């Protein structure tokens, strides 16, 4: 059996450090926010090359508060992509605004900047690119349009811990960003978690107030806030795991490079990493016209896989009210039919990558793997 990811193996490797961190929180009884969460906020802000990080309870909450702090509310429109996890659009809806989709680039699957201008209306307040699969969206043209049209840029960095665009870390590029620490993310908590990251001290102050019931002083509620605080235990665990993140990212990149080599010449399209990006391979998604056949072969060999994502958001039942139809975003629709995520995790062995690659090669219909 080859799992899609192996969180148990990761815990086994970290057990003494993690157990110690959790027990420290239990002893201190600082169960919500507290010193471990504050320390994690400083360390994660530094990691992102940003001034501030504000720890919250989920990545979705991080995006929701980023939008609210940026002044987005009822009647506003936010431009984003339909080829992403549902949380991207949900956060916009939570803020009372309307997601307006633009199609994606056919090569990287991130927002196609050439589509943005046509989607801007008098109600547009922000652009929310998604750094999908761990690769930064094409931020330079997005920032240029935002500057010219006076729009905010909110990064959905939920899959992009440590990813870079032209030397800048994701989360420090736009006005404000949301990260997720869902257990399966490149930096994952042992439960739910998220963070808002920004260089703007005023936005950071607003997010801090909003995540804790809108209060700056106890029982004085300046804003209508939320209970979006991070648990102390998650903060302590994330501090331990953050120290290993660079090594894990390098391990993911090594696995991706091995897949790239072993799948060369196979009848599948390998993921493309732009040379100016640092891709952190949260997902290693190939594209294929024979997905069902490859899925069947992987299952027969006990190999888990994922499909991120099979239905673009504009075709989801939940978002029917937005009024989109099939054919509106052909690149996203084609991607949804063709993508297949292969197992990738830092603890994965070369032999496992070789096994998966061999099954993909044969089931995709192609020759023998390259010989050394
Ligand atoms: C995981 C994810 C989120 C939401 O994060 P949660 O922590 O699960 O709430 C948002 N956007 C994208 C692109 C994600 O992958």
| Residue 264: partners with Cβ closer than 8 Å, 6 or more residues away | 270, 370
Please count the CA atoms within 13 angstroms of the CA of 307 that sit on its side-chain side: 15
257 shares its domain with 336: yes
Q: Is residue 213 part of a domain?
A: yes
264 C-alpha to ligand 1 centroid (Å): 31
Residue to mutate (ligand 1; options 67, 84, 86, 88; most atoms within 8 A of CB):
88
Check pLDDT > 90 for residue 52: yes
Of 242, 259, 279, which residue is a domain's last? Answer: 242
Q: Cα of 67 to ligand 1 centre, how many Å?
A: 15
Same domain, 230 and 252: no
Measured by CA distance, the residue closest to atom 5 of ligand 1 is 59
Residue to substitute in 87, 177, 185, 192 for testing ligand 1 pocket (most ligand atoms within 8 angstroms of CB):
87
The tens digit of pLDDT for each residue in 176-210 reads 999 999 999 999 999 999 999 999 999 999 999 99
Sign of the four-CA dihedral 59, 62, 67, 68: positive
pLDDT (average), residues 161-182: 98
Query: Does residue 370 fall inside a structural domain?
Result: no
Same domain, 46 and 140: yes
CA of 78 to the centre of ligand 1 (A): 17
Same domain, 263 and 172: no
Q: What is the mean pLDDT of residues 207-227?
A: 94
Ligand 1 contact via 156 beta carbon (within 6 Å): yes
Alpha helix (H) residue ranges in 29-157: 35-48, 59-69, 87-94, 116-119, 139-149
Residues 291 and 189 reside in one and the same domain: no
Proportion of the chain above pLDDT 90, given as a percent: 96
Question: Do both 31 and 53 map to the same domain?
Answer: yes
Could you tell me which of 109, 111, 112 has the C-alpha nearest to residue 285?
Answer: 109
Whether the full predicted model's pTM is greater than 0.95, yes or no, is yes
Rounded to 5°, the CA angle 127-132-137 comes to 50
Residue pair 131/116 in contact (Cβ under 8 Å)? The answer is: no
Same domain, 237 and 260: no
Structural domains in the chain (count): 2
Identify the domain containing residue 141 by its residue range. Answer: 7-102+111-242
The residue nearest atom 6 of ligand 1, judged by CA position, is: 59
Domain assignment present for residue 75? The answer is yes
- Tell me the CATH number at 129: 3.40.640.10
Return the sign of the alpha-carbon dihedral for residues 236, 250, 254, 138: positive
74 and 223 together in one domain? yes
Residue 139, both tokens = 């931020």
End residue of a domain, out of 211, 242, 273: 242
Residue with tokens 């929310």: 128
CB atoms within 10 A of CB 322: 17
Residues 6+ apart with CB under 8 A from 22: 233, 236, 237
Q: Kindly state whether residue 2 falls inside one of the protein's structural domains.
A: no
Q: If you ran DSSP here, which 8-state letter would residue 129 be given?
A: -
Q: Are strands 215-217 and 77-80 parallel, antiparallel or unpaired?
A: unpaired
Which pLDDT band, with edges at 50, 70 and 90, does 367 fall under? very low
In a domain, 1, yes or no: no
**Radius of gyration, CA atoms only, the chain:** 21
For the segment 103-122, the average pLDDT, to the nearest whole number, is: 98
| CATH number of the domain encompassing residue 279 | 3.90.1150.10
Task: Assess whether pLDDT exceeds 80 at residue 371.
Answer: no
- What separation in Å is there between the alpha carbon of 182 and the centre of ligand 1? 7
Answer whether residue 121 is part of any domain. Answer: yes
Task: Indicate which residue's Cα is closest to atom 7 of ligand 1.
Answer: 59
When pLDDT is cut at 50, 70 and 90, the band that residue 366 belongs to is low
Q: Which pair of tokens denotes residue 184?
A: 């399966």
Considering the domain architecture, whether residues 216 and 352 belong to the same structural domain is answered as: no
On whether both 58 and 77 belong to a single domain, the answer is: yes
Last residue of a domain, one of 242, 272, 297: 242
pLDDT, one tens digit per residue, over 70-84 is 999 999 999 999 999
In-domain check, residue 272: yes
Lowest mean pLDDT among 127-136, 218-227, 255-264: 218-227
Percent of the chain residues topping a pLDDT of 70: 98
**227 and 135 co-located in one domain:** yes
Average pLDDT, the chain: 96
pLDDT higher than threshold 90 for residue 357: yes
Which of the four pLDDT bands, split at 50, 70 and 90, describes residue 365?
confident
CB distance 159 to ligand 1 below 6 Å: yes
* Phi, psi dihedral angles at 307 (to 5 degrees): -130, 110
Both 208 and 265 in one domain: the answer is no
Ligand 1 atom at shortest distance from the alpha carbon of 182: 7
Mutation test residue for ligand 1: of 158, 159, 306, 312, the one with most atoms within 8 Å of CB: 158
Which atom from ligand 1 is nearest to the alpha carbon of 192? 7
Least confident piece of the model among 82-86, 163-167, 221-225, 343-347 = 221-225
Torsion angle of C-alpha atoms 246, 251, 255, 260, degrees rounded to 10: 40
Cα 183 to chain centroid, rounded: 12
The reported pLDDT for the residue numbered 89 is: 98
358 within some domain: yes
């Amino acid at each position: 059996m080859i799992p899609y990811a192996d969180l148990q193996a990761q815990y086994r490797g970290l057990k003494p450090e993690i157990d110690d961190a959790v027990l420290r929180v239990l002893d201190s009884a600082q169960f919500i926010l507290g010193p471990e969460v504050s320390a994690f906020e400083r360390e994660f802000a530094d990691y992102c090359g940003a001034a501030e990080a504000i720890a919250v309870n989920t990545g979705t909450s991080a995006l929701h508060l980023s939008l609210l702090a940026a002044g987005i509310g009822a009647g506003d429109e936010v431009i984003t992509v339909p080829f992403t996890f549902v949380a991207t659009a949900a956060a916009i809806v939570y803020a009372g605004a309307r997601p307006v989709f633009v199609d994606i680039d056919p090569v990287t699957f991130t927002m196609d900047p050439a589509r943005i201008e046509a989607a801007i209306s008098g109600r547009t307040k922000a652009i929310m690119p998604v750094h999908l699969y761990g690769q930064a969206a094409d931020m330079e043209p997005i920032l240029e349009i935002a500057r010219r049209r006076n729009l905010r840029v909110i990064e959905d960095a939920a899959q992009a811990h440590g990813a870079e665009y032209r030397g800048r870390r994701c989360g420090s590029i736009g006005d404000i960003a949301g990260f997720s620490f869902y257990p399966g993310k490149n930096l994952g908590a042992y439960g739910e978690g998220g963070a808002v990251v920004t260089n703007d001290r005023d936005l950071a102050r607003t997010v801090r107030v909003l995540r804790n019931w809108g209060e700056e002083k106890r029982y004085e509620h300046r804003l209508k806030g939320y209970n979006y605080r991070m648990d102390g235990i998650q903060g302590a665990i994330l501090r331990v795991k953050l120290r290993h993140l660079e090594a894990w990212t390098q391990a993911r990149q090594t696995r991706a490079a091995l897949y790239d080599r072993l799948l060369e010449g196979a009848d599948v399209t390998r993921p493309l990493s732009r040379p100016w990006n640092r891709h952190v391979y949260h997902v290693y998604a190939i594209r294929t016209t024979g997905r069902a056949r490859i899925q069947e072969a992987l299952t027969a060999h006990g190999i888990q896989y994922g499909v991120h994502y099979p239905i673009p958001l504009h075709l989801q039942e939940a978002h029917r009210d937005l009024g989109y139809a099939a054919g509106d975003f052909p690149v996203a629709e084609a991607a949804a039919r063709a993508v297949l995520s292969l197992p990738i995790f830092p603890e994965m062995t070369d032999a496992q990558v070789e096994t998966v690659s061999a099954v993909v090669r044969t089931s995709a219909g192609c020759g023998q793997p390259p010989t050394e």
